[in-house]
Amino acid sequence: MHSSSVSPAGDLASTPSSDLEEVARKGGKLRRMAVRIPTYMADIRENPAWLPMFLLARTIPGRRAHWLMAKKSNGAIEKLPSIFPDVDAETAVNALRRDGIFPDLRLPADITGEISAFGHKTPCFGNFDRRIEFTASDHRATEDRLGRSILSGHHFERALDCAAVRKVQRDPLLSEIARRYLGAQARLITTRTWWSFPTRASEADRSLASLDKYHFDLDDWRMLKFFFYLVDVDQGTGPHVFVRGSHNKRRMKHQLTLLVGHPANEIIDYYGKDSPMTLIGKAGSGFVEDPFGFHMGTVATEKPRLMMEIGFGVSKPSRRRFHGEPVLR
């Protein structure tokens, strides 16, 4: 996995009116929040304990208080055979505590090939909508047929039909890293594979897909996410970006807003221009991050990106969103 610095956001000084700019900025925030409200309401109905987490886990004091409940891993699974024999769990955990990310994971070639082949041949659902079903090779034809842009294609529960996905999901090294970092309560909460396609997309679609906007995740009090590229990813394939050090400190205004997404210039001004890390690499490259740190998936501009996520948390996983599925209006 290779990384490079991300350039700061462009100069906005040419905007004709600062008042109009502020109106547009607030309007964009409201639209981003509105598109997620149905999902939030469903989360509350399924698990009322989700609401205090959503309100308090965005604050540093709230997170630190909850972290005190972490139990030390007993190391019971650290010696079990793993498909990642060259990765030391303690080295990964130390990097996570320091930077919020460990970028040196790699899937075996056969596992990568099997999941990639699965992703190419298995129909996915466009823009999270189960009424839009197609294979990746039919992406452009599906856009033309529907007359709309399709930014993403998720496999949802179909991902677990792939034996190689299940093998990665159950790998003891991933569990051991999660248990050492999150505490012995760490448990699997998400498994998903999905496509990101080069296309023109609305702000609502980009927000729903968590693309092109620095944000942090609030699916649980404490989380860890493992990501793997299943195709070669370069600057034109929509690489993932993570802001080092942003997992354990937070600007006060970003703790006191219900929004999790923030403009790039705000993030870079606070954490420094050298803090963003752009992850590029060959198929099979992987990394693990604390998703409370600011991150984003960039929009693919030249080639589609196929990716897998294995997520761990400390609370009961959502039956409805085990595969990352939001609720659409």
Q: Return left, alpha or beta for 220; rule: phi > 0 is left, psi -120 to 50 is alpha, else beta.
A: beta
pLDDT at 211: 64
Domain range list for the chain: 2-7+17-69+76-313
Task: Provide the 3-class DSSP secondary structure of residue 242.
Answer: strand
Reported residue count of the chain is: 329
- Mention the CATH class of domain 2-7+17-69+76-313: mainly beta
Residues 6 or more apart whose CB falls under 8 angstroms from that of 15 comprise 21
Task: Give whole-number Cα distances, 74 to 94, 207, 221, in Å.
Answer: 17, 39, 21
- Cβ neighbours, 10 Å, residue 198: 18
What pLDDT shows up at residue 100?
98
Q: What is the pLDDT of residue 16?
A: 36
| Pairing of the two strands 187-196 and 101-106 | unpaired
pLDDT at 104: 96
- Looking at the chain, the whole-number percentage of residues with pLDDT higher than 90 is 65
Residue type, 271: Y
Query: With 80 as the cut, is the pLDDT of residue 203 above it?
Result: no
Phi, psi (rounded to 5 degrees) for 167: -65, -40
Place of tokens 């793997």: 228
* pLDDT given for residue 257 in this prediction: 82
Chain mean pLDDT for the chain: 86
- 154 or 208: which carries more pLDDT confidence? 154
Neighbours of 309 (CB within 10 A): 17
Strand order in the sheet with 295-297: 2-4, 276-280, 240-243, 295-297, 214-215, 261-262
Token pair 């197609």: residue: 134
Structure tokens at 225: 């996410």
pLDDT at residue 95, rounded to an integer: 98
Task: Give me the phi and psi of 225, to 5 degrees please.
Answer: -125, 130
CA–CA distance, 36 with 43 (Å, rounded to integer): 11
**The residue type at 93:** V
Which residue in 299, 304, 284, 156 sits closest to 227, CA to CA? 284
Burial 84-103 (b: 16+ CB within 10 A, else e): beebebeebbebbeebbbbb
Model confidence, pTM: 0.87
